[in-house]
Amino acid sequence: MSLTREDLAELALEVTGMTRTRWDLLLETLKDDAAMNRIMKEEWERKPRDSEEAIREYYRESDIWFLNTWNHGIGGLVKMAGRGAPALSSRWSEVFVRSLKIPCQILDYGGGFFNDTYPLVMSGYKVSVAEVEGPVTAFLRRYRTLAGLEDRMGIVDVGSDLPLQGMYDGAVCFETLEHLLHPAELARHLRDHINPEGPFAFSVSFGAPAHAPYHVASNAPLGDERVWAAKLEEIGFLPFWKDAQNPHFQVWRRP
């Protein structure tokens, strides 16, 4: 079923309870990075973010975070619903797909509205996105049915620190680990739920909490790539590929 941007905006209003006036106001705010970050900082500092649950609460409750995430993913949502031609448009995804031993189940942890993995869905892979249980997961369940993508899209409600149950043939985790108090613990949890020899594609942006308060300040030392690489090796991942043009994107593997 084809779905328009406006169709999906109406669905978002239903699941979030936002008024159209508030939605439009926040859309305008998102055009100004300084204004957006000011609101996010105020919301972040409203309560102590001293546990993973307190951090999840922020993402569950923040309207501007929801809308920012929706803005980044809306193009892919429209394309998936319209059954556009499949296309892997990034080097990491090409390497990732070639690394899959049994291309059945892929996990996108913290992937929002399939912003990075919608081309995999359109190429025929089953992708499950793990997101904080709340408006995002409610939206995705409604969208999946409306778009007729029940066989291509899975949804994992993140309501605990280590929420995964099943096994996956590969995992993707972009710009998520820096939002956690204990990123190495989640990386280990991901490794435990990737089948042997499965790829793990990731990017991280540890540090810069003054600009992005939700980048947990205590993780700043992990911004040294060598420190984070040592953590991944200790956890049990092996380096496999790094984008020569943008080394921020990497693919490691579980032995």
What per-residue confidence (pLDDT) applies to 103? 67
| CATH number, residue 194 | 3.40.50.150
Side chain identity at residue 202, one-letter code: F
The total number of structural domains that make up the chain: 1
What per-residue confidence (pLDDT) applies to 63? 98
CA distances from 169 to 78, 121, 133, 243, 247 (A): 26, 14, 23, 21, 23
Model confidence pLDDT, tens digit, residues 149-158: 999 999 999 9
What per-residue confidence (pLDDT) applies to 104? 84
What per-residue confidence (pLDDT) applies to 199? 97
What per-residue confidence (pLDDT) applies to 112? 97
Give the domain extent around 82.
Answer: 5-253
Which of 117, 153, 135 is CA-nearest to residue 56? 135
Per-residue pLDDT 10s for the chain (255 aa) are 689 999 999 999 999 999 999 999 999 999 999 999 999 999 999 999 999 999 999 999 999 999 999 999 999 999 999 987 777 779 999 999 999 987 689 999 999 999 999 999 999 899 999 999 999 999 999 999 999 999 999 999 999 999 999 999 999 999 999 999 999 999 999 999 999 999 999 999 998 777 788 899 899 999 999 999 999 999 999 999 999 888 889 999 999
What per-residue confidence (pLDDT) applies to 246? 87
